[in-house]
Structure 1
Amino acid sequence: MEEFIFQMPRKWQKQGRVRGIALSQERFQFIFDNEHDLVEVLEKGVHTFHEWAIVVERWSEVPPPDSLQYIPIWVQIRNIPINYQTQLAIEALGDIVGKVIDVAFDPLKARSNVYERVKVRFDVSRPLRKEKVIDLPNGGKTKVFFNYERIQKRCYTCQRLSHEQSVCPITIQRSQVEADSRRAGQSIMKKKSNVILLESDPLFGVLEENQVGINPNTSKPRIAPEVLEEMRQYLLVAPGEERIIREERVKASVREVENDPILRKSALSLDLVPAVTRDLQRGKGLVFDYPVENSMSPLFEPRPQGEKLLAASMRANPAFEGRPEIISTRVQQVGFSQSSASSSSLSGSTGSRLKSFDLNLSGTSSKKTSIRKRPGKNMRKMNANACQEENIQISLKDGMIIGSVEKRKAVDQMGGVPKAAKQITQKAVPKEGLSKDQ
């Protein structure tokens, strides 16, 4: 709880504007400095801490009996038949999960998603429903799937949000009861549901038990207690034959209202009719399913490589018939060049690239590669000695002494005389005597 109190304001990005108070190990309270931050946090929907969902609602002096019991969740409904993708059908499917608050549906807009979205008021004590088999009016059946946005961790045994699979109380209790029953040699008896309509009730025999029972999706009665009391008063004030007529009217009215989802909510359950929003992406969040994926994607599976195109063309050439060793050698050379080209193409713009075959559409090479033919080491030495002897012969012709051969770059022909000869030339200034002025 201490970590939770200090981490949630940072997660909400409200540091310094909200302070938390730990009421117990399971309950807390946050006090906001302004109304805007409080409304913004409540509108975010599902809140999580360490990937577990938490229930957040506005504080009240007198909390209702179902306080901290419901959270708003956006549900994605998949695999709806195309003929039943209507507002009423989507709302009816959302009622399977919980009480529908909003329906994101606009038939006039293009939809790229393969699901429909509804916002429900979900009871956290109930398990998450993953799928539901629906009976179609034409006699067929289809399976509808539900995905929950922003819901991360859950118990994969009972699909509840309050614990992990290893400590699931339902599984532990069931195991203990079965073990005790096996030791005692008794059979496991199912618990009977509580009967609502007693024999002394005026509605006994008029309505069926499944019509007035608890709705497992909303944990509330299918018919509100106020409506049932009005029905009882309506039947008690009529004597004799009038009582029988009124009982038939009640049966027909309830049966007719149950066929209409809107009337069933407003007239029987006394619930508010869900709003319809045209914003299909309103409050959208991620769906955490944690699916088991394959280690290798099918896009990256190794594909069997067949024979190369150049090898096939060479095998089809009659000139190479009966000479498989030439074909195999050429194929190996082509394969080496192509692999070198592919590896060099992976280098950056500043890296070096090797020359490769430039193949046209037909698969044949349209440009020949230029290979530098460098002579061997012995041949290069012989060529260097030959150049050296040639330089000596040139120096002898110019009158240079043998042994003072210089490099070709150092020889500077100045007026037909080599530079070395010019340096050893001795100059003498003739004696002309004194000048006439002296």
Structure 2
Amino acid sequence: MSAAMDRALMALSLEEEDKPFDMPDLPGFCSNEKNKLSLVGRMLNPECQKMSTLIWRMPGKWSKEGKCRGVALSQERFQFFFDHEHDLLDVLEKGVHTFNEWALAIERWVEEPPDDYLQFISLWVRISNIPINYYTKEAIMALGDLVGEVKEFIFDPTKPQTQPYQRVLVKFNVANSLKMSRVINIKGAKPVTIHYNYEKIQKRCFTCFRLNHEQSRCPLVVKRRKDEAFARRQAISKELELKKVVLHEDDPLYGILTEDQVGTGAVTGKPKIVKEVLDEMRQYLMLATDEDRIIREERVRSSVAAVEQDPMLQRTVLRLEAPPVISQDFNKGKGVVYSYEELQKPKEGKLQSEKFMASAIRAGSAGQWNAGNMDRTLSDEVYVGYNFMATTEGSTVFSTGSLEPCASAGTKKKVYQRRRPPKSRRKPRPLLLADKTEGVMWDKAADKSVVGSKKRKAETEVGELLVSAKSKTPKVIPREGSPNA
């Protein structure tokens, strides 16, 4: 199999040409009968007009939905098939058609299209500013021929005319530009400018006034940009050629130093050697005698070459600039910088063993506790600071007084709160005579004695006070000690 394929490939020739295919001349192969009721069109600006959108939207724009269908023939050309002849003629009579605000060239299908097929569109043109002595058929037709071939014009001198223009229908070549005005010479009078306005034309190039491109892609605009860029390059090259020469032939430094050494720096934009230094070099060479002139020239050449090796010397010696300031403050220019080193230094009047965390906790808890509680030990301060920080921030936030790891779920740690007994227990009501009377009870809500069978809380007499059964047994409040104490 491979040997047979190799022989077939070797037998191939690049010079061999395929013979043209002869299309059968049969009724089934030709669609002339279907094309008789069709229109063929061309998009004038394909960059701004999408073919698929045109095929779907043009029937609705013509009010012919369901009566015609479109077919894309190429990237620019399309065809619409109609069901009836009157629908096709109705579309043609509407004049120039646009899609996406750009014009379309549409004509009826022909079996053998001419060379200028889809090259012309029918436009109604309004001609204004016509001289008063030239409102004639011949003059209007001649003015219309300046735009295109006149096919029809409206003119009736017997009827009143309310618009200051004349309308003509012309066959316009889409390759030409739309003339917005023309200057007309009249014998024995001043030249007159005739203005043209084109109906149903929306977008055009406002540089060359053509219908097939936008202004940004106009050949005239592109050419002008290229010419301007070329002119800028030429100007820059001339400036480089006419660059100012520092060392002339009559200069004592000519031949000793080069233009690269005395020219302008590309980074700084300043002379590499300032004028004052060059003048001193010139004076140094001019004062030399014939015997030591060669020695001085070599000394200037070698000294400049040595200084050029050191950037610091170039700045201070050749350019006479101040050297940069060397600072040892690493935080200079940063603003306020927080440092632990200064805070950890011991101050006068404080113990060296006192830790920074303990002092921070003491300062944070000072606003929450009175002065009587400030004599606690360091362990109590840590515990209080831990409770204080846990109540003010979330459990996932690290704080200085935290002694236990925080919960990953983000729940707050339950903090103990002091529970104070109600007022009725802290200040018992005095025992009245009515309370000792049988069948008489005290209504707390109404704050008065009530006679009846209302249920009564069990109360006992403690001296001259009434104490309920619940409060009879004294309780110890946590962290407060015994009440008797």
The TM-score with structure 1 as length reference comes to 0.41
The TM-score with structure 2 as length reference comes to 0.37
Select the structure with the greater relative contact order (CA < 8 A; seq sep ≥ 6).
1
Q: Give 1 or 2 for the bigger CA radius of gyration.
A: 2
